[in-house]
A and B are shown apart, each in its own frame.
Chain A
Amino acid sequence: MTVKDVAMKRRWGMAIDLDKCIGCGQCAVACSQENNMPIFEDDSDVPKRVAFLELMKVTNDRDAKFPDVRTAFIPKMCQMCEGNDPANPDPPCVSVCPVVATDVGDDGVVSQIWSRCIGCRYCQAACPYEARVFNWWKPRYEGSFKNSLNSDVSISSRGTIVKCTFCSHRWKQARDKAVAEGNLDINAPVYKTACQTACPVGAIVFGDLDEAGSELSKLVASDNAVRLTNSIDDLPEDKQKAFLKVKQFPNPKVYYLTSQSWLRDMMRFKKNS
């Protein structure tokens, strides 16, 4: 087999079981460490913090008392939107970049070239999931943190946008390994993201959405699966088709699983709230 014959079949996606998630934050820590997120002495300025994975706490009602109060944690990273047509992905953030610093690969992962980015933040304005972060300050690594930097991820400079890439450098490692073993099929290697490996309860499942019979494709097809604020999912099929003709929708590739109806409601904008 030559490399030419190989067509990319992967379409990476993720399912996160919110019923399993205990909100420990291991995923966020692992992500920050894996991707060389800067560490400042005072990181309490949350809106300016540089982190790919945000653990968002959601409650049903702020004033509710025990036993009516419900809480859930939503780990939110880049949702890897693909637009209306999976075969021809068009995430909201990619087409807006004036310098082609961000692109969507044939594996469906939205990438970001940090050294190309001019820091205009147009993609940040375009992102409906607040998944893109900006280096408002020069990235810094206090004390011995410098020694634990990951050499597979380049450190970004001040004034550039950075984002979650589904740890695609890990996929690169897996591919390199496969090639070294003589396997040139690009669809053969699989990998695990940092947040997935760190999760102590196995709430995060990562894989290929198109792979029939895989754990991920089963989870995504289940009734518990829901996508963040992607309102078009709730519509009957004929209406969906009509809407998709008129306008693009984000259609993210990250699914959240929950059996709790209040949490499902929480992920949609309520009318007249």
Chain B
Amino acid sequence: MIQNIIQFIKSIFTDASKNMRITLYILLGLTALFGIFAVQILGWGLGYTDMDNNFAWGAWIIGDLVLVALGGGAFTTGYLLYIFRVDKLKPIINSTVLLGFLCYLFTFVFLLFDLGQPIRAWFGFAYPNWGTGVYPVSMLTEVFFCLSLYFCILVVELIPTILEHKVLIQNKIIKAIAHYMHLLMWTMAAAGTFLSFFHQASLGGGMWGALYGKAVWYSPYFFYLAVVAAIAGGTSFMVMVPYIAGKLMKKEYVPMETYQTLTRVSGMVFIGYLSFRLFDIYKAITHYAPMSGREYFDMWGGYYGVWMLATELILCVVAIVLLNPAKLRNQEKFMVIGASSAIGAIVMSKLSVLLHGFSAPNFPWKGFTSYWPTIQEWFITLGALSIMVLVYMAFVKWFPLFPHVEEHDEHH
């Protein structure tokens, strides 16, 4: 038995091409470093990070914001497929669910690392700051509950993909379960979309917009803006990952028209996102920054200057210009550039929320501060990403992640 396993693991490496072997070694190395530094951070505390009393959050919260926003493509795609019956999206749905699952799983992992007392994480459920209303008082309480519930939904959505493994599916009961789960998946998609609206809004935006003492962040619109951002950027992310996987494996995992359907959604929503974002910036300049006695553009400075805002807006424009006209979107290279800019715009906006927000001085006599992750933070972040890549690769190899391809192969 053990020899079989060793043989199996050996075969993974010997069967792979040279480039794939190198990639695997790098990813596994990063994963090992993740493990080592995880022990250090969880065992000896956050002193080993570059965060401090002024720069309270760092790389992992950036990771959270980016992963949740991009993982938001999962609920959008699920909603479009199961509720709106956009059947063109069928070939991509399994990959989308897996990506959503991985994004959220590692959001939890990052959040856990960021807690000073990870063992007390359950306090979030046991002593929630809910107040007396229907909606919780603390945005993080909302994040705790919504994120966990939505993660459960993603797990349920992922189960059929695992059950449809070519060995498992031969069992009649498993086949029946997988079949009926598929039929009932629309309930999950609906519930997932409902929940996603809340935690996308709270973790992505409301969490920052609610901080009324901080002029850099305070915005009544940020809560809603984050939902639009997740739909806009997430859909492009869900396109780019299987696209890159397909390019690397030299296989057409997902038909082009599926990609084009999703990027079309992304492009359209980006028009809304950009207009909303510009309105948000306009209100900040004219209303909310002056109310707190600050000038909006004075708050941008140091390393994380106004170039971040400019880059974000330019990337938004590129995504809109390349993804909206069918003439451009239907050309593969423009679609790829457009979708990448879309992802870039969302990543940039999350980076600037955090880096610019914390670097801006709280006292007039203080200067802008900066942050550079320590090796512990780098390797935990990169290690987490490589685990995500490894799991995705494993699913591509052994599970029916792209049922379209297998059906295609069977026909030949």
On A, residues with C-beta under 8 Å from B are 45, 47-49, 56, 58-59, 81, 92-93, 95-100, 116-122, 124-130, 132-138, 157-161, 228-229, 231-232, 234, 243, 246-250, 266-273
Identify 17 new A-B residue pairs, CB closer than 8 A, beyond the known A121-B57, A130-B54, A234-B293: A96-B211, A98-B144, A99-B128, A116-B127, A120-B115, A120-B116, A121-B51, A122-B207, A124-B53, A128-B362, A157-B117, A231-B294, A232-B291, A243-B291, A247-B288, A249-B292, A269-B295
Which of chain A's residues have a CB closer than 8 A to the CB of B53? 47-49, 124, 130, 132-134
Which of chain A's residues have a CB closer than 8 A to the CB of B116? 117-121, 134-135, 158-161
On B, residues with C-beta under 8 Å from A are 45-47, 51-57, 114-117, 120-121, 123-124, 127-129, 137-141, 143-144, 207, 210-214, 218, 288, 291-295, 298, 358, 362-365, 369
Query: How close is B258's CB to chain A, nearest CB, in angstroms?
Result: 39
| Of A125, A247, A266, the contact of B358 (CB 8 Å cutoff) | A125
Query: How close is A73's CB to chain B, nearest CB, in angstroms?
Result: 12
Q: A132-B53, A137-B47 are in contact. Are A95 and B298 (CB under 8 A)?
A: no
Q: Which A residue sits closest to B139, measured CB to CB?
A: A96
Top 9 nearest A-B pairs (CB, nearest first) are A119-B116, A159-B116, A231-B293, A92-B213, A47-B52, A98-B140, A128-B213, A124-B56, A136-B47
Ordered by A's residue number, 28 sampled pairs between the chains whose C-beta atoms are within 8 Å are: A47-B53, A47-B55, A47-B369, A48-B53, A56-B365, A92-B211, A96-B138, A96-B139, A99-B124, A118-B117, A121-B51, A121-B57, A122-B138, A125-B57, A126-B213, A127-B213, A129-B362, A130-B363, A137-B45, A158-B116, A158-B117, A161-B116, A247-B212, A269-B294, A269-B364, A271-B295, A272-B298, A273-B298
Q: Which B residue sits closest to A135, measured CB to CB?
A: B116
Which of chain A's residues have a CB closer than 8 A to the CB of B365? 56, 58-59, 266
Q: Which B residue sits closest to A103, measured CB to CB?
A: B129
Query: How close is A136's CB to chain B, nearest CB, in angstroms?
Result: 4
Q: Are the C-beta atoms of A159 and B214 separated by less than 8 Å?
A: no
CA separation between A127 and B121, bound complex, in Å? 22
Query: How close is A165's CB to chain B, nearest CB, in angstroms?
Result: 17
Which of chain A's residues have a CB closer than 8 A to the CB of B124? 98-99, 118
Q: Which B residue sits closest to A102, measured CB to CB?
A: B129
Q: Are the C-beta atoms of A122 and B137 separated by less than 8 Å?
A: no
| Of A47, A56, A96, the contact of B363 (CB 8 Å cutoff) | A56
At the interface, is chain B mostly helix, strand, loop or mixed?
A: loop
Q: Are the C-beta atoms of B45 and A136 separated by less than 8 Å?
A: yes
| Of A48, A59, A118, the contact of B123 (CB 8 Å cutoff) | A118
Q: Are the C-beta atoms of B211 and A47 separated by less than 8 Å?
A: no
CA separation between A273 and B51, bound complex, in Å? 27
Which of chain B's residues have a CB closer than 8 A to the CB of A160? 116-117
Q: Which B residue sits closest to A133, measured CB to CB?
A: B53
Q: A100-B127, A119-B117, A271-B298 are in contact. Are A158 and B45 (CB under 8 A)?
A: yes
CA separation between A195 and B87, bound complex, in Å? 69
Q: Which B residue sits closest to A62, measured CB to CB?
A: B365
CA separation between A70 and B298, bound complex, in Å? 25
CA separation between A250 and B212, bound complex, in Å? 8
Which of chain B's residues have a CB closer than 8 A to the CB of A157? 117
CA separation between A161 and B53, bound complex, in Å? 10
Q: Which A residue sits closest to B131, measured CB to CB?
A: A95
Q: Which A residue sits closest to B301, measured CB to CB?
A: A273
Q: A118-B116, A136-B47 are in contact. Are A47 and B54 (CB under 8 A)?
A: yes
CA separation between A230 and B369, bound complex, in Å? 22
Which of chain B's residues have a CB closer than 8 A to the CB of A135? 45, 116
Q: Which A residue sits closest to B369, measured CB to CB?
A: A47
Q: Are the C-beta atoms of B129 and A99 separated by less than 8 Å?
A: yes
CA separation between A246 and B51, bound complex, in Å? 33
Q: Are the C-beta atoms of A249 and B212 separated by less than 8 Å?
A: yes
Residue of A96, A127, A246, A268 ringed by the most chain B CB atoms within 10 A? A96
CA separation between A49 and B54, bound complex, in Å? 11
Which of chain A's residues have a CB closer than 8 A to the CB of B213? 81, 92-93, 126-128, 250
| Of B45, B121, B123, B293, the contact of A229 (CB 8 Å cutoff) | B293
Query: How close is B179's CB to chain A, nearest CB, in angstroms?
Result: 40
Q: Are the C-beta atoms of A228 and B45 separated by less than 8 Å?
A: no
Q: Are the C-beta atoms of A95 and B138 separated by less than 8 Å?
A: yes
Q: Are the C-beta atoms of B298 and A228 separated by less than 8 Å?
A: no
Q: Are the C-beta atoms of A92 and B212 separated by less than 8 Å?
A: yes
CA separation between A273 and B56, bound complex, in Å? 25
CA separation between A49 and B53, bound complex, in Å? 8
Q: A97-B138, A99-B124, A136-B45 are in contact. Are A267 and B364 (CB under 8 A)?
A: yes
Which of chain A's residues have a CB closer than 8 A to the CB of B57? 121, 125
Q: Are the C-beta atoms of B214 and A96 separated by less than 8 Å?
A: no
CA separation between A231 and B295, bound complex, in Å? 12
Which of chain A's residues have a CB closer than 8 A to the CB of B369? 47
Which of chain B's residues have a CB closer than 8 A to the CB of A56? 363, 365
Q: Which B residue sits closest to A81, measured CB to CB?
A: B213
Which of chain A's residues have a CB closer than 8 A to the CB of B364? 229, 266-270, 273
CA separation between A10 and B94, bound complex, in Å? 61
